Amino acid sequence: MPKVVDPRIRRRELAEAVWRVVRRDGLEHASVRNVAREARLSMGSLRHYFASQSELMTFALRMVIDGIEQRIAAVPSDGDLRQRAARVLAELLPLDDQRRAENEVWLAFTARAMTDPELRALRDEGYDMLRAGCRGLVAGLIGPGRDPEREAARLHALLDGLAVHAAMRPDVNTPDALHAVIADHLAELRAPRTTDPTTPSWTSLY
């Protein structure tokens, strides 16, 4: 009797095969043939679950977003706001093998999204979700005189920068170092703004 395979599980396995190929060989090598070989399936079997390479790539990127959303949803909503913000932000940074894989896949797909409309739409969705999340986190944390939208943009940029730096130099940007940067930034948000945000601080040197 033939083995019955849950299509949802098989699709996830194929997306995970995409991730492995992308991380090991680069996105340009994530062809249907190479992904099928990585998953130990025939190309015909792969096409039973994904009609095209674009559909497969989109699903692989969607899985990154879904995984992050599920982890954030599981973060307890009670307790100190700053501690909760730190736990939420930790789910967005490459602090373990799973999150490192997500980060590397996301960064690889960002370049492809420049020329792929479906990936671009998904990239923009992820961007907008992250900005909205940053906006929600800073709303309860910022001190007097701080602009919520500007602080959301600052936090968003900090997260993106840390993710890129961690992918480039994980030996320098360790989990402890990333945690420390986030903790310092969240603590600084509490302080009132004492300078004109439109005036660069380095002007005082001249």
Kindly write down the DSSP assignment for every residue of 87-137, as one continuous string: HHHHTTS--SHHHHHHHHHHHHHHHHTTT-HHHHHHHHHHHHHHHHHHHHH
Distance CA 73, CA 82 (A): 17
Per-residue pLDDT of 110-148, as tens digits, reads 888 999 999 999 999 999 999 999 999 999 899 889 999
Is residue 35 within 8 Å of 18, Cβ to Cβ?
yes
Read off φ and ψ for residue 179, nearest 5 degrees.
-60, -40
The whole-number average pLDDT for the span 144-172 is 96
Distance CA 186, CA 138 (A): 8
Distance CA 69, CA 85 (A): 14
pLDDT, position 196: 55
Residue 167 has pLDDT above 90, yes or no: yes
Token duo for residue 132: 């909205």
Coil, strand, or helix at residue 198? coil
Task: Please give the angle made by the CA atoms of 124, 130 and 133, to the nearest 5 degrees.
Answer: 140
Higher per-residue pLDDT: 130 or 203: 130
Average pLDDT of the chain is: 90
